[in-house]
Each structure stands twice: as C-alpha cells, then as structure tokens.
C-alpha cells in the first residue's frame, strides 16, 4: 500500500474541482484495509471515503487521509430458474455491473443504466432513476466496521433505505466502509417502461421492451439529457423530487391540471423539473 502526500484529487471527482488531500491511499483489499485502520496515520487523521467521486464536492483541500476504495470482483452466490444472487465488490464501476447484468438478461438494474459511481456507493443514497431504486435488488450490504475492522453485514431492512437515503448517509456514516453489495436479480422481471419517456424512446429506436433494450434506451436518453462530467463538471441532480400526499395532489390538480407526478402506493412524487421549466404553473 502506497501513501501519497499532497495528492491532487481533480481527476477523482466528477466536478473536476482542484483539491488536494494531505494523504491519499488506494485500498485494494479488505485485509489491507484492516491493517491500515490500525495504523498511526489513520488513527491520527480525519478520513474521507471515496468511490467514483460523482456525488461529492470538494470546497477546499482535505486536511486528512482520503481512502479510495478499490475492491474488485463479482461472485455468483446462487442461481435457480428465476433468480441469480450476486456479490459485487465496492470498487466495481456501477455501470459495468449494470452492463454485466443486462448482458446476461438478469433484470432489476436496467433502469439504473449510466449512473456514474461505484457499486459500493449505490446503497449510500439508494440510487434511483426511471422509476427504479437499487434497494429493490439489494439483499444485504457487507461492511467493515472502522472502529475494530470487524466484517459485518446489514440486511436490506437494516439499511433503512428511503428516497435517496439510507443508514449510510446518517447514523452509520463514517462508521463503516462498504466492502460489497449482495444483489438478487430476476430472470423474468416485470419490466418498467412507464416512467419518463422510456416507452417513447423504445418506439423511436424501433425496440421492443426487454432488459437489454430498456438499458439501451435509457443510455441514449441520459446521454442526450445529462451534462457529461468530462465536458462540464457536475454531480447529477442537486434536488429531490417533492413527496406529497394523495390529498395534496388532488388540490394541486384542481389548480394545475397539467402537473407531472408519479404515483406510488401511498404517496406521490412530483417531478421537480416542472417548477423550473414551467414557471407559469406555480
Ligand atoms: C452526470 C451524473 C448523473 C447522475 N445521475 C444520478 C441518478 O440518476 N440517480 C442517482 O441516484 N444518482 C445520480 N448521480 C449521483 C451519483 O452518481 C451517485 O450518487 C453515485 O452512487 C455516487 O457514487 P460514487 O462512487 O461516485 O460516490 P462518491 O461520490 O465517491 O461518494 C459518495 C458518498 O459515499 C461515501 N462513500 C464512498 N465510498 C464508500 C464506501 N465504500 N463505504 C461507505 N461510504 C462510502 C463518500 O464518503 C461520500 O459521502 C449522478 C451523478 C452524475 C455526475
């Protein structure tokens, strides 16, 4: 393991912000990390965990040690005619994992195509897009407890997943390093093409709905719609769509009948963008 000093982080964050880490260390294995957690350098400095750097904004140099989590690999744990259970390590690139699943026709993550970042960070804010959230495919999240280097596992329900939220953004923040995520993918999934313009894009591309075609359509849509961090530094959306009650929506619809919303079981998600693009509605 090599410790670098005064290390430039510009290429490691999608904003492309110039910021330096007092110390920088790439961790390639869990054993190496357990050793490092006992070191003087770690114990005497504050630390920051870094994945793909696509949800982080450095406002100044980091006066501590930045730990880049690079554990690689994917293992199939079990499979039957309906499901496959896979463990993917934290340093795998999220979109490579999505491509691996869609290539094998394993459904569940196809709507999450082209989201930047790593597998190990997907549970942190419960990444979501086009009507899907990663929590619906996660069985458990494996972690290393920073305090004593113990390897533990959080079951899905223990992760307290919510809309762009989880325990890892709250009470578990900086207490655990996510080492791997266990996913359950579906060989015969219920495809979700109703959110956003997925159906329209499939039609435009002359594609019928399938795991691979949804992934292709979403890749095209995102590529057309979202700024490319390599050209314009960014970290995706800054806002969350407002969640309101059904009663609240009914009142809003009387006044603004064209309002865009996405219903779920007991609450409604409003499309935030309409506040910006259609000012006359509000
Ligand atoms: C163009 C663009 C589009 C995007 N679109 C979406 C989208 O559609 N949906 C969506 O949900 N998000 C989206 N995002 C946000 C981002 O891609 C996700 O939040 C992603 O999961 C961040 O992963 P990362 O590896 O880059 O995390 P980082 O930015 O490296 O880290 C994020 C947080 O996790 C912590 N962390 C890092 N590694 C670990 C670890 N191993 N264990 C515990 N904590 C850790 C960090 O300290 C930090 O607090 C987008 C970003 C960009 C730039």
Per-residue confidence at 244, pLDDT binned at 50, 70, 90?
confident
Instruction: For residues 233 and 224, give the distance between their C-alpha atoms in angstroms, rounded to a whole number.
Output: 16
Residue 8: strand pairing partners: 20
What is the predicted pLDDT for the residue at 203? 94
* Residue 53 near ligand 1, beta carbon < 6 Å: yes
Q: What's the 127 CA to ligand 1 centre distance in angstroms? A: 8
Task: Produce one character per residue of 85-105: b if its CB has 16 or more CB atoms within 10 Å, e if not.
Answer: ebbbbbbbebbebbbebbeeb
Closest ligand 1 atom to residue 125 Cα is 19
- The residue among 138, 171, 172, 169 whose CA lies nearest residue 155 is 138
Closest residue to atom 2 of ligand 1, CA basis: 236
What is the predicted pLDDT for the residue at 138? 98
What is the predicted pLDDT for the residue at 103? 97
Q: For the chain, what is the HEC assignment?
A: CCEEEEEECHHHCCCCCCCEEEEEEEECCHHHHHHHHCCHHHHCCCEEEECCCCCCCCCCCEEEEEEEECCCCEEEEEECCCEEEEEEECCCEHHHHHHHHHHCCCECCHHHCCCCCEHHHCCCCCCEECCEEHHHHEEEEEEEECCCCCEEEEEHHHHCCECCECHHHCCCCCCEEEEEEEEEEECCCCCCCCCCCHHHHHHHCCCCCCHHHHHHHHHHHHHHHCCCCCCCCCCCCCCCCCEECHHHHHHHHHHCCCCCEEECCCCEEECCHHHHHCHHHC
Per-residue confidence at 15, pLDDT binned at 50, 70, 90?
very high
Q: What's the 281 CA to ligand 1 centre distance in angstroms? A: 32
Q: What's the 254 CA to ligand 1 centre distance in angstroms? A: 38
Q: Which tokens in the block code for residue 173?
A: 């923040």
What is the predicted pLDDT for the residue at 274? 60
Per-residue pLDDT tens for 129-147? 998 999 999 999 999 999 9
For all residues of the chain together, what is the average pLDDT? Answer: 92
What is the predicted pLDDT for the residue at 246? 86
Does residue 127 surpass a pLDDT of 50?
yes
Per-residue pLDDT tens for 81-108? 999 999 999 999 999 999 999 999 999 9
What is the predicted pLDDT for the residue at 280? 47
Q: Which residue has the higher pLDDT, 167 or 233?
A: 167
Does residue 282 surpass a pLDDT of 80?
no
């Amino acid at each position: 393991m090599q410790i670098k000093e005064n290390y430039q982080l510009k290429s490691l964050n999608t904003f492309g912000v110039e910021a330096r880490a007092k110390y920088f260390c790439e961790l390639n294995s869990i054993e190496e990390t357990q050793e490092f957690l006992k070191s003087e350098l770690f114990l005497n400095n504050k630390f920051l965990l870094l994945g793909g750097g696509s949800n982080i904004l450095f406002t100044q140099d980091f006066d501590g040690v930045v730990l880049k989590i690079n554990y690689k690999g994917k293992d199939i744990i079990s499979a039957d005619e309906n499901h496959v259970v896979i463990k993917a390590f934290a340093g795998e690139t999220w979109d490579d994992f999505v491509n691996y699943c869609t290539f094998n026709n394993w459904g569940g993550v196809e709507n999450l195509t082209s989201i930047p970042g790593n597998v190990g960070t997907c549970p942190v804010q419960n990444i979501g897009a086009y009507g899907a959230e990663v929590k619906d495919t996660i069985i458990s999240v494996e972690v290393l407890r920073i305090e004593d280097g113990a390897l533990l596992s959080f079951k899905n329900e223990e992760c307290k997943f919510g809309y762009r939220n989880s325990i890892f953004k709250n009470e578990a923040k900086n207490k655990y390093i996510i080492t791997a995520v266990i996913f359950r993918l579906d060989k015969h999934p219920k495809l979700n093409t109703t959110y956003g313009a997925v159906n329209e894009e499939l039609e435009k591309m002359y594609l019928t709905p399938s795991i691979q075609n949804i992934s292709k359509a979403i890749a095209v849509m995102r590529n057309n719609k979202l700024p490319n961090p390599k050209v314009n530094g960014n970290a995706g959306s800054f806002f969350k769509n407002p969640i309101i009650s059904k009663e609240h929506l009914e009142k809003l619809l009387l006044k603004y009948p064209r309002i865009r919303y996405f219903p779920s079981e007991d609450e409604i998600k409003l499309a935030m963008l309409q506040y910006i693009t259609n000012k006359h509605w509000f």
